[in-house]
Each structure stands twice: as structure tokens, then as C-alpha cells.
Amino acid sequence: MPKLRSTLGRAFGRLQHQELVGRVQAGRAGLGWGEAPRFWSKGNQKERKEMVVSEVTRMEEERYKIKAVSQGRQGSWTTWDEVVDRKISWSDLGKIPQARLSFLIRSTYDTLPCPRNLHQWFGNEECCSLCKRSQRKPPAHLVRLQDHAFPGALLSSSLATTSLHPDIVVWSTKAKAVLLIELTVPWEKGIEAAFEGKKTKYSELAAECREAGWKTTIYPVEIGCRGFVGMSTTRLLRDAGVTGGKLKKATKELAEEVEKGSFWLWLRRKDKGWGKNT
């Protein structure tokens, strides 16, 4: 009981302190982005109970996170600042195949038996079969979709002449506005670098479009290869009018599709047929 009272006391104190501080933003998210916080003084009895439970849960998560930070490689997920927290319900756990669930957990905590880990654990000098074939033509199923869709000719017709191929180009001749959307699936720790790199890559093209009188917006979006969706992706969905339950559903589906793709690649990491049109 004393421990429970102490925990509840800290939770009450944190909630009151949050109200004094007010609303804050973190990362690249703009001011006002995201859900508005609930304040203790404005909540009814039911809402205050929910706030206390949420705050105690958050305190426990912080305690585990502090421990994870000290674990080096297995705690590297603590540095993923630009991803949306991935929440998997108990019902989802029952639906995910055991092998895929194991892959998700072990890849998140970097405990998969990849060459780097095997070398650290056992001193083996195992080489990656994909790296040994890095000079070969990529397999057909890995060719980037942007090489076949939305060619630069779409832009050259009325906006600007370019050899760049954004993944998606959306434009309105009536509003004279264009969106340049580029998807990247990097390591989660490289999401911010991928965002800045893609933004820089298309900055000159965007400038040309603006000079031609078009309102141009660049949307670099990222989904980590383990299935953690970047905040840039949810920001695009919100700007496109996808909110509430639809936003959660879309984010979940995107995460699962990328995770399934990575799991498929992991299962075939030792295949000898990479580069063949099979």
C-alpha cells in the first residue's frame, strides 16, 4: 500500500505539473499538431481516473525505457524520435503468426541472428548472401515502383522538365497546386536523415514549379523497415483529410505491410536466386 500511495502521489503531481507547463511540441511536428492534452482541473471524475491510469502507465514505460537506454544495441529503439508508437492489442497478438511476431520483436530489439550479431555472439565470420551479390541486378520484385509510375513526363507537360521521379505526383490545374510525395523505407534510426535527404533532392524541382506559378509542396514520407510509421506519414494523411479512426486504421495497415515485406525478405535472406526473374 505505501508503494501504491507513493506511485499515485507522483502521478497526481505530474498531472498538475503538466497543466502548469501547458501544451508542448516535440520533433518536427508543427505547433498544434496532434491531440490536445487533457488537463486535471477540467476533467470529471471518470476522466481524472483515466488520466491517473494513463499517467501511471506512462511512468512505468519511462522506467523500462531508462533501463533500455543502458542496453546499447538492444535499446537503440529509444532513439527513434520521429516514429509513431506502435500499439499491438491482445486481439492482434492472437492474429499475427508466431513466426512473424517473433521477427517483429527480435528485429525491434536487434536480436535477430544476422551476420553482425552472429559475429558478436560466436565470432563467426558469416557473410551476407545479399551483400556478396550487391553488384548484380536487383530482383524484379524489388524494383522500385517509381521507375514505372508517375514518370517525369507528367511534370514536363505543364510544370517543369525534370528527370526526377517522385513516387506520387498529385496536381490540380484549377487550384494550380501540386504535391510531390516521396516514400522511403529506411532503418528507423535513419528516418530523420531520409526525410532531410528527400526534401533536399526535390527542392530544386519544387522551386521550378513555384517559378512557373504553381503552389508546390514536398511530402517526404517514411515508414521504418520494421513497420514503425514515421510522423511525416501521419502528417500527410492528416493533411489529406484522414483523421480519427481512419487515420489509425491506415497507419496500422501501412505498418503491417512494410513489416510483412521485411519478414518476407528475412526468410529469403539465404536464397541463391537473387537477381533472377523467377
pLDDT, tens only, 166-213: 888 888 888 899 999 999 999 998 999 999 999 999 999 999 889 989
- Cross-strand pairs, 218: 180
Distance CA 130, CA 135 (A): 10
The SS3 of residue 169 is: strand
Beta bridge partners of 256: none
Choose between 175 and 49: higher pLDDT.
175
- pLDDT of 150 reads 33
Lowest-confidence region among 29-38, 75-84, 118-127, 203-212: 29-38
Task: Report whether 214 contacts 176 (CB < 8 A).
Answer: yes
Which grid coordinates belong to 106? 527480435
Pair 193, 179: CB distance under 8 Å: no
E strands, 109-242, in order = 168-172, 177-184, 215-222
Burial class (CB in 10 A: 0-12, 13-18, 19+), 245: exposed
| Domains of the chain by residue range | 1-19+41-70, 84-278
| pTM summary value | 0.66
Task: Give the residue, 10 or 129, on which the prediction is more confident.
Answer: 10
- pLDDT for the residue numbered 127: 66
Number of H helices and E strands in the chain, helices first, is 10, 3
- Choose among 21, 16, 7: nearest CA to 41: 16
CB atoms within 10 A of CB 74: 13
The residue among 132 and 4 whose pLDDT is bigger is 4
Query: For cell 517483429, what's the residue?
Result: 104
